[in-house]
Amino acid sequence: MLLKNTYNEFVKILSKPRSYLGIGALTLLIGIIIFAMKVDGNSIVSFVTASFEQTLTFNGKVINGNLITFIILQMLIVHIPLLVALVTGDLISGEAAMGTIRMLATKPISRTQIVLSKFIAGALYTLFLTLWLGLMALGLSHLIFGSGDLIVLNSDGIVILPENDILWRYGAGFAVAFLSLLTVSSLSICLSTFAENSIGPIVATMAIILLFTIIGTLDVTVFDSIKPYLFTTHMASWRSYFEDPVPFASIKQSIIILLVHNVIFICVSIIGFNKKDITS
Amino acid sequence: MLNETIIKVEGLSKTFGTFEAVKDVSFSVQRGDVFGFLGPNGAGKSTTIRCLLSLISPDNGNVSLFGKSFKNERKEILSKIGSIIEKPDFYRYLSAEKNLEIFARISGASVSKMEIQEMLEFVGLGDRGKHKVKGFSHGMKQRLGIAQTLLHKPDLIILDEPTTGLDPQGIIEIRNLILRLKNEQNKTIVLSSHQLSEIELIANRMVIINQGKTIIEGSVSELLNSQELVVRLETDNIEATQQLIQLNFSEAKTTLISSDSLDVSIHRDRVPQLNRLLVENNIGVMAIEPKRKLEDYFIKTILS
């Protein structure tokens, strides 16, 4: 029954116009970034590397597919949570608003299975969105700019990664980025369990991300103890794969914290939905 | 098997915050019954029906369906029930056929595409299967709701206000559908409705609830036959009519309605005598119309 309802959920997601909004927006934004880099990429990169040019000489193609993909990821990974929440925040509350939740809850399927099938469908949609971002960014930028070594600027300085040492980092980076987005998906489905319309969970998800991000960036001692446990602190962990050496211990910790958040959100949703009186 | 109890509700109560929606509701439904579930707005009908379908957990009382309780055998119970609660809501962005496929997939029974098409034909939507539900009228959604209810061939059908918001044509269509289910498929049907005439026409047993409590439960014919008949008389001399009735039928109660009509509460066996009396006294009788019995019974019961 779980598989059957997961299939149902996927049919519903694929039939909703809003599901294609994220894919369309990503495609458009990737296109705009690639166009901008093609037209004015040299001056943008020169502006960033200017401070190093007195001590370092850059040879070869600095602007290449790997750099453009990194820039795209850096710019878009912040906005994708909204595109994810737009679909997943509607999965349960949208049914309540439409009234179909009554029909669903009177079928011989347990409420736990209803919630789990929505989580699985939400996860598949999030995976598809992450893959779309990755394949479009890597494919298009390599097609237009070709390949080359990747120069990454971080707080410690610059890291130069050789061309043949990059693809696995993108693979691992996308996997962690997917886990971060999955946490957003789980949060919005969790909020969706307690709402009767889809706007509330979508706005609330974004508000929570914004609030936690602000807490994470504030240099206030009071927040220091909670910062490591906020899921937003770990949403940029994908970037750690582009450090040299890769801080695997800190990435592992981020993965654990994100997984724990997912489990908590799923459990809260299941308990909440099982106890909920369906009055809509 | 006809005496098998399909639904048994005992001392059901449910409170939302400080509002007691249901205080003490008890009734039972036997196999093959078309059971009318009556009550004024806010009586607790929908809350009770939602408890019957495990949409709402009752605070107190017992609900058993097919002799089983939701605690242990929820899936098994729900696989035998088809229901429409208040109004049938569907995925507006999907076609009628896709909607039925979605609900069939989780109905616990194997339903083929051909059976879905047959069901659409049964409810008169055979040519609208590929159309998106967002273009459907309320009546069409109600019919699709009934199709969804019957897809997995349930033993028990629960219809909560199935004719709400329908035009007279739609009401007749739904009534005929329910009658077909009763006559052709011998289903057990629980029908909650404001349309008292619908219950009177279709149901064999009923319960009336008010302010969250069971007021009366029993056979429709027995409950209504124990009451006097109310007939509306239209004559060419209403004052003389009233005087004649008061002189000759001491047990009858009259209520003047207008300058040419009055209601008479009288035993049904005395109606021919009443008619003869008026004719013999040269009073022109334009109409003798029995009023809906259930309507009067319902109002009397609720007011008492």
Q: Domain total for chain A?
A: 1
**Residue among B7, B116, B107 nearest B63 (CA):** B7
B-chain residues near A105 (CB < 8 A):
53-55
CA–CA min distance B53, chain A (Å): 6
Question: Is A108 in contact with B92 (Cβ distance < 8 A)?
Answer: no
Q: What is the rounded distance in angstroms from the CA atom of residue B146 to the CA atom of residue B44? A: 23
CA–CA min distance B245, chain A (Å): 52
Q: Is A25 a member of any domain?
A: yes
Q: Which two tokens stand for residue A20?
A: 């294609």
Confidence of residue B178 (pLDDT cuts 50, 70, 90): confident
Question: Is B55 in contact with A1 (Cβ distance < 8 A)?
Answer: no
Q: Is A219 a member of any domain?
A: yes
When mean pLDDT is compared across A40-44, A52-56, B27-31, B262-266, the lowest value belongs to: A52-56
Confidence of residue B1 (pLDDT cuts 50, 70, 90): very low
Q: How many CA atoms lie within 13 A of B97 on its CB side?
A: 13
**Model confidence over A12-21: pLDDT tens digits?**
999 988 889 8
Dihedral of alpha carbons B38, B39, B42, B47, sign: negative
CA–CA min distance B86, chain A (Å): 10
| Closest-CA residue of chain A to B76 | A108
Question: Which of residues 246 through 275 in chain A touch B, CB cutoff 8 A?
Answer: 275
B-chain residues near A17 (CB < 8 A):
93
Q: How many CA atoms lie within 13 A of A100 on its CB side?
A: 24
Residue B70 has pLDDT above 70, yes or no: yes
Task: Tell whether B87 is within 8 A of chain A (Cβ).
Answer: yes
Task: Tell whether B53 is within 8 A of chain A (Cβ).
Answer: yes
pLDDT at residue A124, rounded to an integer? 94
**Residue among A92, A73, A77 nearest A140 (CA):** A73
Task: Tell whether A21 is within 8 A of chain B (Cβ).
Answer: no
Q: Is A280 a member of any domain?
A: no
pLDDT at residue B303, rounded to an integer? 67
Q: Please provide residue B20's backbone torsions phi and psi, each rounded to the nearest 5 degrees.
A: -85, 100
Question: Is A107 in contact with B92 (Cβ distance < 8 A)?
Answer: no
A-chain residues near B57 (CB < 8 A):
275, 277
**Model confidence over A197-250: pLDDT tens digits?**
889 999 999 999 999 999 988 888 888 888 889 998 898 888 889 888 889 999
Q: What is the rounded distance in angstroms from the CA atom of residue A70 to the CA atom of residue A76? A: 10
All residues at 6 or more sequence positions from A4 whose CB lies less than 8 Å from its CB, including other chains: B105, B106
Q: Is A81 a member of any domain?
A: yes
More confident residue, B108 or A98: A98
**Model confidence over A127-175: pLDDT tens digits?**
999 999 999 989 998 898 888 888 887 767 788 888 888 899 999 999 9
Secondary structure of chain A in HEC code, one letter for each residue: CHHHHHHHHHHHHHHCCHHHHHHHHHHHHHHHHHHHHHHHHHHHHHHHHHHHCCCCCCCCCCCCHHHHHHHHHHHHCCCHHHHHHHHHCCCCHHHHHHCHHHHHHCCCCCHHHHHHHHHHHHHHHHHHHHHHHHHHHHHHHHHHHCCCCEEEEECCEEEEECHHHCHHHHHHHHHHHHHHHHHHHHHHHHHHHCCCCCHHHHHHHHHHHHHHHHHHHCCCHHHHCCHHHCHHHHCCHHHHHHCCCCCHHHHHHHHHHHHHHHHHHHHHHHHHHHHCCCCC
CA–CA min distance A88, chain B (Å): 16
**Residue among A188, A209, A187 nearest A77 (CA):** A209
Domains of chain B (ranges, CATH numbers): 5-221 (3.40.50.300), 227-303 (3.30.70.250)
A-chain residues near B50 (CB < 8 A):
277-279
Q: Is A27 a member of any domain?
A: yes
- Domain of A165, in residue numbers: 2-275
Task: Tell whether A12 is within 8 A of chain B (Cβ).
Answer: yes
Q: Residue A123's beta-bridge partner residues?
A: none
Task: Tell whether B78 is within 8 A of chain A (Cβ).
Answer: yes
Dihedral of alpha carbons B76, B80, B82, B83, sign: negative
Question: Is B89 in contact with A4 (Cβ distance < 8 A)?
Answer: no
Task: Tell whether A109 is within 8 A of chain B (Cβ).
Answer: yes
Write the single-letter amino acid at A273.
Answer: F
When mean pLDDT is compared across A39-48, B10-19, B77-86, the lowest value belongs to: A39-48
Q: How many CA atoms lie within 13 A of B32 on its CB side?
A: 6
**Model confidence over B244-279: pLDDT tens digits?**
998 898 888 888 888 888 988 888 788 888 889 999
Query: B264-303 as b/e, with b when 16 or more CB fall inside 10 Å?
Result: bbbeeebeeebeebbeeeebeeeebeeeebbebbbeebbe
Query: How much is the pTM?
Result: 0.83
Q: Is A197 a member of any domain?
A: yes
Task: Tell whether A102 is within 8 A of chain B (Cβ).
Answer: yes
| Mean pLDDT score across all residues of chain A | 88
Q: Which of A10, A106, A198, A278 to mutate to test the interface with B (most CBs of B within 10 A)?
A: A106
Q: What is the rounded distance in angstroms from the CA atom of residue A133 to the CA atom of residue A136? A: 5
Cβ atoms A202, A90 nearer than 8 A: yes
pLDDT at residue B255, rounded to an integer? 86
More confident residue, B302 or A97: A97
| Closest-CA residue of chain A to B53 | A106
CA–CA min distance A12, chain B (Å): 8
Query: A71-84 as b/e, with b when 16 or more CB fall inside 10 Å?
Result: bbbeebbeebbbbb
CB pairs under 8 A between A and B: 83
